[in-house]
Every structure is written in C-alpha cells, then in structure tokens.
Amino acid sequence: MKMNAAAAEKPKRGLGRGLDALFADAEQRIEGREEKIETISTVSHLPSSVSETRRNISITSLIPAPYQPRRYFDPGALQGLSESIAQYGVLQPLLVRPSPTQKDKFEIIGGERRWRAAQLAQLHEVPVIVHDLDDRSALEIALIENIQRSDLTAIEEAEGYQKLIDEFQHTQEQLGDIVGKSRSHVTNSLRLLSLPKSVRDQIHQGKLTAGHARQLIGLSDAEILSLTKEIIEEGLSVREIERRRQKINQEEKGIAPRKITSSGKRNIIEKDADILILEKEMGNLLGLKVEINSRDNISGQVTIGFSSLDQLDELLQKLTRAAKS
C-alpha cells in the first residue's frame, strides 16, 4: 500500500506572535489592572494594582524563576559581561514579576544572566520592568526571550517546550505558533529529551551539538553512549555519525539496502535520521512495518506493509477514526 507524500513549503515565520502579543494576552487574563510607569527605588512602594512598572530594584530582591528554561551559564562569558556592566552599567532592564510565594521579592523572567553578572560587578541595584503575569505567560515569555537571544542550549529549549506541554497542556502546534518555529522543529527538539541524561549534559556543556545528538535518537543506550564518546574524542562529523547509524540499523535488520549509481556500482542507501525516526514512530503507531522513501526530504512515498486482509481492515479503521477526530 503506497501513499504519495508531499510537504508544501510554508513561508518563514517571525518569532510567533511576539512578546507584545503575549503581554496583551496576559493583561486580558488579569482583570482590573491598569498600566502605570514610574521610577522608584524601594520594593515596598510597588503599587499592587499595576500591570507594568519600571524601576531600579535591589539585587537582593531578585530571585531566579523556578520555571526559567535556562540553567547553564558559561562562566567565561559571565565574567566578560560583568566587566562590561562594571564600566557601563546594565543597559537593558531585566523583565521581572512579583513573586507569588515570597513577599517583596521579584522573579526574573528575562535577564538572569545580566543579574548574575551585575552581582559579580558588585552593583547594588539594576533596572527592571515589572509585569504582573500569571505562570503560563511568564513561562512563555521566558522561553521566547531566551530563544530570541539564542541563549538556550538545545536541551533547555526542549525542556521549556515540555514544561509548557506538561503544565499548561500546549500542543506542539501551539508551541510552534508561540515561538515562531515549525511544528517539526518543536517535535525534533522534544525528541532530544529521550537521550540518556549524561548525553543531555554533554549538549548543555557544548561538547555535543544538537545535530550530532539527533543522529543518536532511536539507538540503544549502549550504542548512544559509545557513539557519544567517539564524537567527543575523535571529533566525528554529523555525516560520519549518520553513516554509522545507518550501518547499525542495517545490521539490526540483517539487511543492506542498496541502489544503483550512474557508474553501475552499488552503494548503501542512506536515509536521513529524522526519516528513520518517523518510520519507527509510524510503525509503532500503526502496528505495521512502515517505510518512507524520499530523495529530497520534501516529497516521496510512504509504504505500509501488511500480511493479511484483517491487518488492512484494521489500518483503514484507524485512519478513518483519525480523520474524524
């Protein structure tokens, strides 16, 4: 059974709806709030009825948000930023909200790196913009703010997506709209969380790229750890890892798919790692063998194998139910 599959290119999107739209959404969820901008230096004077306040706040009154997606801060880069801050000050205000759990404290939504660097520079106060936000908006904005700056590791980005899914029931499509990424980008990002923790840590530390890591998804933990060690120690390229993955998959299946080249020689067909993952996921979902053949990763064919009419009938029922849902 074959079905043609063609993916139409979508126009590139900007960063979702943007921070302005999210702030607007948050303000709609907080009734009876008025926007007010003022400059004051003490926490105790914060008006409780405002949705935004600009001010300078003591460094000791700021705390990292528990939902902050960014967890790794490069010490060298932090030291360099602190030297700049010591000379020029904090040029861009931090984005914060009143802490829902600690009186007179403010959670940092955006700008934790600047806050840490300001401490190293021994500043007493930093400029902030206070927004009265609920948990969902705070997490969305923290994620977008970091993605805009390319501040997150691939794992931190994936963990941010997963937290929005777990706590606020976002779909992958909604996440794509929020951050201005395609659904497939979000899906591939979330797949990184299936890797062993030690491998995710290597990505955090910059020893392993997301491109390398994606080639490891779907292999056994032993194979993943072995290949990760080779990547780091031997400096293997993504292409080399893809070849090794292909070899492992073919050995497990006991086959060596080949194609005829223009020279008449037979070469091993090399599929993209994401295609192999999709084959596995579709096969698990349908309970049948699935093969995806694509020359350009844009169009191709999906082949679903069945061994009886009962299996075919069950497949048709699944597709019918999916179409109606």
Query: What amino acid positions are annotated as catalytic residues?
Result: 112
Q: At what angle do helices 183-191 and 154-168 cross, to 10 degrees?
A: 100
Rounded (10°) CA dihedral 179, 182, 186, 188: -150
3-class DSSP state of 163: helix
The distance in angstroms from the start CA to the end CA of the chain is: 23
> Rounded to whole angstroms, how far apart are CA atoms 260 and 220?
31
Closest CA to 26 of 111, 181, 135: 135
Q: Please give the backbone phi and psi of residue 217, each rounded to the nearest 5 degrees, phi first.
A: -65, 135
Separation between Cα atoms, residue 314 and residue 325, nearest integer Å: 17
In total, the chain counts a number of residues equal to 325
Whether 78 and 117 have beta carbons less than 8 Å apart is answered as yes
Q: In what order do the strands lie in the sheet with 289-294?
A: 2-6, 299-305, 289-294
Can you point out the beta strands (E) in 7-145? 52-58, 62-64, 94-98, 106-110, 125-131
Q: Is 277 helix (H, G, I), strand (E, B) or coil?
A: helix
CA distance 1 to 207: 43
Query: Which two structure tokens, joined as six digits, stand for 245?
Result: 């993955």
* Percentage helix, strand, coil for the chain under 3-state DSSP, each rounded to 5: 50, 15, 35
